[in-house]
Amino acid sequence: MLASWNPDQVPDDSLGQLVYRSHLLGGDRSVCNWGGGNTSTKGSATDYRGRTVDVLWVKGSGSDLATATPAHFAALALEPLLELPERYQDMDDQAMVDYLMHAALHPGGVRPSIETLLHAFLPALHVDHTHPDAIVALCTAAEGEAWAKELYGDRAIWIPYRRPGFALARQVAEALRAHPTAEVVLLAKHGLVTWGETAASCYASTQKAIADAEHYLQKRSRPWTPPVSHRTSDERWDLYRQIAPWLRGRLGRHGRVVLSFQTSDAVLGFLGDSHCLEMAREGAACPDHLVRTGRVPLILSAEASTGWDALRTELDQSLARFEEATSAEFAACAHHNETPDPPTPRVILIPNLGIVTAGGSLLDARLTADLFDRAMSVISLLRRAGAEYRPLGAQDSFDVQYWPLERYKLTLRPREGELSHQVAFITGGAGGIGRAIARAMVRRGAHVVLADIDGAAAARVEGEICAEFGEGRAIATAMDVTKEETVAAAYGAAVAAYGGIDIIVANAGIASSQALTSTTLADWERTLSILGTGYFLTARDGARILQEQETGGSILFIASKNAVSAGRNIAAYGAAKAAELHLARCLAEELGAHGVRVNVINPDAVISGSGIWSSQWKEERARNYQISVDDLPAYYRERTILKVNIQPEDVAEAACFLVSDRASKTTGAMLPVDGGVSTAFPR
């Protein structure tokens, strides 16, 4: 439900009121899709000549009404826009965009909405264009026009479907001149246009139009009880975790993807209704959905989710058919030398299980899920009302999906990094080196799983990363690398969150410095358990996921200079690190056939931010070298060839290199990051 208009919170200026109104509209996703809809206001401003001119402020292309700031609205001189209907009978898209940019009050600002002229040509000072579920349902029903006449009477103008642009804007303006008492415009298969002479009255008009449509559809609704799955939520998630890595790999053949999974009573009710599924096969509920969701989802049978084998078999067959049909549809509809999107589905509906969505990032996958949630709402409204669903057909959908003005929004996404689309699983993720590696990989586009025995510390790093880089870019999970059940649970959390993994960084550590004769069996076994068994379990369980995906991957061990350089009073630590090194070499030999590379970094004396170096280890090493604890950094610096201290960020840079495509032909390698310690030179 739309929030109430609060006069006490409304700014005095026109642009401020526009931002306030936009936030209210965008705050309800049943009214405005993410990034969809547009709002405008007309007023006056000073141009570069110092003259006062009439201005149209309109939302910029690709921005979101819920979070828009004044900077997200384009300011255009209104007079040249109002001349267009007299000067042109028609205007192609590129000419329209060029003209709008020339009319901009501030060159170099945001690109105006593709529906700018719709706002300009309407005489009202304030205009809203939204995609409310109830209105979209009305506009995609075969009976929609008749129902609109019954509901709104002469208050509404019905406009047959036409793609946004100059022609649609002109048509709407001419229709309103012919029916000046109309209060709303309904765009078939699209959405709603409302207006007002004040920001408040415009918002009220939008509220009323939506409420009227909701009430009308409610009155027409027939009893309908969506079926409910008898499988528990835990059972559904368990089955999803089993299938997700294979599915992610299958969908990632044209480029890696991140998966999101939704399962709830509402989702299962929709998926359990064959009529709803048949409607979903007809196409997208709103043109705004197409760039992210594609025209249709992949829909499996109710029998598919009876178990792992049945689900995988049907998915394999259905994906092949879907890709073939998508490629054929592209060939039939293309007409401007368009480059096809990957033919894989972005939305997969699995009755009795849930909905899987795919995207280049978790945010993309979640936005696709949110948009399909709106489609489910529209279809459910029509299902209850007993209406026939008439969305855009294949050609019209293609013309929107591949429309340069619509695809421009995709160019506004953050630039991809060399690790975009990938998921990194990092043990010891809350420590100095683990945290630095996680941050460096996220900066390069990756999502990260922070696995650490200190779950609270890992959660703090998760919060830090998500606050800086965006929600969902990191998750934390408590994990003891020596216990099989916690390792399996941590990987399960990674699969549940992202669908799988691509990079494994075994970094969990412990250190002790004792003379051989003072080393207890418990000390020895604990050190080898964490640094030996822990690395084995991390690599083993992670390799199972990488092999299931069949898209390759990278495993990286953070070992130590002591893996190759002997030292006094570190028998347990040195032996365990040497074991790590040889384990990595064995895994490189074994996993290469699966496209999985395994490499090792040997750091030395990374004191900053380290949990190990804040423990007894620091005192033990100082005592070993017969120096004070405060002199340790200088001691380590002076013993290197380059006379440098090693920071966690130095190890992180090396890690990013080894797991990236820059090192795509490197496996079984050992990379020292120690400032130059000659006794640790690889031999």
Q: Which helix (H) or strand (E) holds 380?
A: helix 362-385
Can you tell me the distance from the alpha carbon of 637 to that of 560, in angstroms, rounded to the nearest whole number? 16
Contacts 24+ apart (CB under 8 A), 211-216: 212/151, 212/152, 213/132, 213/134, 213/135, 213/137, 213/138, 213/151, 214/134, 216/138, 216/147, 216/150, 216/151
Cβ neighbours of residue 77 under 8 Å, at least 6 residues apart?
47, 53, 54, 55, 103, 104, 105
Cα–Cα nearest to 32, from 270, 318, 371, 259: 371
Q: In what order do the strands lie in the sheet with 156-159?
A: 73-77, 52-59, 38-46, 126-130, 191-196, 184-187, 156-159
Tokens of 613: 């170096």
447: alpha, beta or left? (left if phi > 0; alpha if psi -120 to 50): beta
The DSSP annotation for 534-567 comes to HHHHHHHHHHHHHHHHTS-EEEEEE--GGGTS--
DSSP states of 231-292 = S-HHHHHHHHHHHHHHHHHHHGGGS--EEEEE--HHHHHHHT-HHHHHHHTT--SSGGGHHH
Distance separating alpha carbons of residues 599 and 558, to the nearest angstrom: 9
Measured in whole angstroms, how far is the alpha carbon of residue 658 from the centre of its chain? 25
d(CA 396, CA 574): 66
587's tokens: 């895994």
Number of CB atoms found within 10 A of residue 582's CB: 11
Cα–Cα distance measured from residue 346 to residue 148, given in angstroms and rounded to the nearest whole number: 33
CB neighbourhood size of 17 (10 A): 20
Q: Which positions are catalytic?
A: 573
Q: What are the distances in angstroms from CA 562 to CA 301, 485, 515, 605?
A: 56, 30, 16, 10
Place of tokens 């001691």: 635
> What whole-number distance in Å separates Cα of residue 438 and Cα of residue 33?
32
Quote the tokens at residue 660: 């990236």
CA distance 314 to 301: 8
- Give the Cα separation of 436 and 652 in Å (integer): 6
Distance between CA atoms of residues 582 and 576, nearest Å: 10
120 and 56 in contact (C-beta within 8 Å)? yes
Query: Whats the size of the chain, residue-wise?
Result: 683
CA distance 524 to 539: 22
**Which residue, chain included where needed, has tokens 């229709």?**
175
**59 three-class SS:** strand
CA distance linking residue 32 with residue 23, whole number of Å: 10
DSSP class per residue in 16-55:
HHHHHHHHHHHT-TTTS-TT--EEEEEEEEE-TTS-EEEE
Mark residue 402 as left, alpha or beta (left: phi above 0; alpha: psi -120 to 50; beta: remaining). Answer: alpha
Question: How distant, in Å, are the alpha carbons of 63, 139, 416, 454 from that of 412?
Answer: 9, 29, 11, 38
